[in-house]
Amino acid sequence: MSSVFNSSTLIAQSGVAFGTSGARGLVVDFTPEVCAAFTHAFVSVMQREGPVTQMALAIDNRPSSPAMAQACAAAMLQAGIEPIYYGVVPTPALAYQAMQDKMPCIMVTGSHIPFDRNGLKFYRPDGEITKVDEQAILSANVDFAALPALPLLQARPEAANAYCHRYSSLFSTDLLAGKRIGVYEHSSAGRDLYAPLLRQLGAEVVSLERSDEFVPIDTEAVGEEDKAKARRWSADYQLDAIFSTDGDGDRPLVADEQGEWLRGDILGLLCADALQIQALAIPVSCNTAVASCGRFAKVALTKIGSPYVIAEFAELAKGYQRIAGFEANGGFLLGSDIELASKPLAALPTRDAVLPFLMLLAAAGQGAISPLVAALPQRFSHSDRIKAFPTARSQAILAAGQADPQALLAKLGFAGVVVAKVDTTDGLRITLDDARILHLRPSGNAPELRCYAEADSMAVAQQCVTQALGNIVALV
């Protein structure tokens, strides 16, 4: 007699959990049955809102992703749904194509986390799933049979083509004429798309460091090695900008003409300004320059994670027509259909890396990028993380800090300062009486403790993060 599995039971026992964006876990925990359980549960949630006959599917360049996609496709076929497979493409490319086709989709990706982990991102026909949808998936309680032989998947080109056309059709073909742009390709899911798109817009492109090994680029905690690389590349190749992304191509990593990486929230601010956005939803971890720059009618602060940003769009749409959001990691979410120079740009309420980069270059025109950054309120933010740090330990530290923030500051080496404000929207965010900000938060995607700091100089912000994380490892 063939085995019968239950989605809710399998998921609960799997060790895979929803984080800030999608379900994440160790590769060894994403067995074919667990992938099928998530897929069947997602299908059942989507079918509550109407019939589903097709579902789109794509992957990143992780070694484990193709087999996981096959398991998801097998489950779709079990459920009587045709999988539409687009191969290796950026997450926003898959989401955009699926939204145009009004079908749900699944992206197999672990984004920036190490290659021994992976994940699944789920999209409704109108964009990313909500936290309510996540809970519905976890409790869907679908019985399904053992998977048959996994299907062979042939990649279709439509998603990649539509994503590139979205931007090539928005700008003139000489937008980037005279610009030399480096594309740090590593193992990004979009590495085959970016150079041709930039050349189509008139740029001279230098391809940099393509890797056959998966590279877990974290746009929110850029390593010293990557900082040195960018400065060297900028000088060696006389670049006007460097463009890269995280593993699944939804978070940008952009350097100016000097090879200095821009913080993702500063890039988002400049993009939103260039798009003439009226109202923004951003996580509480973003640089306070976004709110203080005076360029937006409304700035709403949310918990960290794109589902929370997207959830705020509905409220902003009640009073504003041009709405958007972005995260400290740089992913830009366009929350409404807009026009740009009389050309339509459809909403894409999921993180995207290409739009903010192109809008930054459009805003710079024939000039350099660094003056755009210099014109903003000079608040500097820095972040880093402690890897392999148990979540329970992080939560205990935050609980103690919430009960007595002044005592936690003392343990972290911040003497002679007074707590001015405590924000627990997401983690523990402490504003000091000298205007420095220290923000501690467990990662929603991996056993890591993140630390964000903001100050009036980058050196001070970096020193705050280094000092806090250095002292935290000594805490019980």
> Which residues are annotated as catalytic?
111
Q: Quick one: tokens of 476? A: 């019980």
Residue 157: which residues within 8 A CB-CB, separation 6 or more? 86
- Count other Cβ atoms within 10 Å, centred on residue 476: 6
Three-class HEC string of the chain:
CCCEEEHHHHHHHHCCEECCCCEEEEHHHCCHHHHHHHHHHHHHHHHCCCCCCEEEEEECCCCCHHHHHHHHHHHHHHCCCEEEEEEECCHHHHHHHHHHCCCCEEEECCCCCCCCEEEEEEEECCEECCHHHHHHHHCCCCEEECCCCCCCCCCCCHHHHHHHHHHHCCCCCCCCCCCEEEEEEECCCCHHHHHHHHHHCCCEEEEEEECCCCCCCCCCCCCHHHHHHHHHHHHHHCCCEEEEECCCCCCEEEECCCCCECCHHHHHHHHHHHCCCCEEEEECCCCCHHHHCCCCCEEEEECCCHHHHHHHHHHHCCCCCCEEEECCCCCEEECCCEEECCEEECCEEEEECHHHHHHHHHHHCCCCCHHHHHCCCCCEEEEEEECCCCHHHHHHHHHHHHHCHHHHHHHCCCCCCCEEEEECCCCEEEEECCCCEEEEEECCCCCCEEEEEEECCHHHHHHHHHHHHHHHCCCC
Q: How far apart are CA 99 and CA 101, in angstroms?
A: 5
Q: Quick one: tokens of 327? A: 């995260």
Residue 208: which residues within 8 A CB-CB, separation 6 or more? 182, 183, 184, 185, 233, 242
Burial 112-140 (b: 16+ CB within 10 A, else e): bbbbebbbbbbbbbebbbeeebbebbbeb
Q: How far apart are CA 5 and CA 10, in angstroms?
A: 7
Q: How far apart are CA 24 and CA 120, in angstroms?
A: 7
